[in-house]
């Protein structure tokens, strides 16, 4: 295994204006987020609408985040696609653009054929041909496919596989993964509502959409946990539940981008076929942010 990662990474939104990638908006967001104690940034993830972007845009986004990130910040890029060759090619281009690690989602289109063995073969080939270490990524909410524990455990000892982002929201799955994998395998929680629970079990940190809206607070949970102040970390987790459950879980990417705009960052429009939230939803999001003290 190449190294060990820990801490909090925001799963960045990608600003679009009138359908076009806003590199200035992305740069502005990073400059503002640099003041928080993030380990680094994740670009082109699910929250970043990476699946809706072409290769040129993706590489531009990586280059922009790399250039704007404060010294020492780690850049992780979502590079997974439906084909092994496509994932390997884009992972290596992402490395040239400045990514330190690749976040590789499960291929899911032919999900009936995506057995544990098929997924292990996929990840093994990607890991062996990628110029940068990879992080496995399971997000059944979007893919309809759970990465089997058998596959995770098999890949956990590969020298070019650093860890896993688990966005299943399943605490039991996190427990099983941590028990089955070596202690240096970096499990990151992707579900903002159970960050504290995952840390208690042994997760190394979080890769969170929630960090776009609550950067200081998500970092604080991690810091309080590291300091052994579990009661305050638990209280902060409870405070953040409405934002994650109602905005991230309820309104999805369009709602997150709306909230980000309200908080003074550049959220911009979601990319079609995603649609902006309507006025009723905007009003509800504003009230959630106010009630929770973020706005």
Return all residues near 250 (Cβ < 8 A) that are at least 6 apart: none
Residue 199: closest CA among 233, 156, 249: 233
- What distance in Å separates the CA atoms of residue 259 and residue 135, rounded to the nearest whole number? 28
Q: What's the full length of the chain, in residues?
A: 295
Asked if residue 242 lies in contact with residue 294, where contact means CB atoms within 8 angstroms, the answer is no
Specify burial of residue 86 (Cβ count, 10 A radius: 0-12, 13-18, 19+).
middle
How would you label 104-141 residue by residue, b for 16+ Cβ within 10 Å and e otherwise?
Answer: bbbbbeeeeebeeeebbebbbebbeebebbbbbbbbbe
Of 27, 31, 165, 204, the catalytic one is: 165
Query: Residue 49 corresponds to which tokens in the numbers above?
Result: 């609408």
Element containing residue 134 per DSSP (H, E): strand 134-138
**HEC secondary structure over 63-116:** HHHHHHCCCCCEEEEECCCCCHHHHHHHHHHHHHHCCCEEEEECCCCCHHHCCH
> Can 165 be counted among the known catalytic residues?
yes
- What distance in Å separates the CA atoms of residue 146 and residue 106, rounded to the nearest whole number? 8
Q: Just list the catalytic residues.
A: 165
């Amino acid at each position: 295994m190449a190294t060990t990662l820990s801490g909090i990474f925001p799963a960045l939104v990608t600003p679009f204006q009138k359908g076009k990638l806003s590199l200035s908006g992305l740069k502005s967001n990073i400059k503002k987020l640099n003041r928080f104690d993030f380990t680094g940034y994740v670009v082109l993830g699910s929250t970043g609408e990476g699946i809706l972007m072409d290769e040129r845009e993706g590489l531009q986004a990586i280059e922009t985040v790399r250039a704007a990130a404060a010294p020492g910040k780690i850049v992780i890029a979502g590079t997974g696609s439906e084909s092994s060759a496509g994932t390997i090619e884009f992972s290596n281009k992402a490395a040239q653009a400045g990514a330190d690690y690749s976040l590789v989602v499960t291929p899911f289109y032919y999900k009936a054929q995506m057995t544990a063995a098929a997924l292990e073969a996929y990840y093994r080939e990607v890991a062996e041909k990628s110029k940068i270490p990879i992080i496995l990524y399971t997000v059944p909410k979007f893919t309809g496919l759970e990465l089997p524990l058998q596959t995770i455990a098999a890949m956990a000892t590969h020298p070019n596989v650093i860890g896993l982002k688990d966005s299943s929201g399943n605490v039991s799955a996190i427990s099983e993964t941590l028990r089955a994998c070596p202690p240096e395998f970096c499990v990151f929680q992707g579900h903002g509502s159970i960050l504290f629970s995952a840390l208690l079990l042994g997760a190394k940190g979080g890769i969170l959409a929630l960090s776009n809206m609550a950067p200081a607070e998500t970092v604080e949970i991690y810091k309080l946990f590291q300091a052994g102040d579990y009661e305050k970390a638990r209280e902060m987790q409870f405070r953040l539940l409405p934002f994650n459950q109602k905005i991230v879980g309820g309104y999805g990417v369009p709602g997150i981008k709306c909230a980000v705009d309200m908080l003074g960052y550049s959220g911009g429009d979601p990319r079609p076929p995603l649609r902006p939230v309507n006025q009723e939803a905007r009003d509800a999001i504003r009230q959630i942010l106010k009630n929770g003290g973020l706005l």
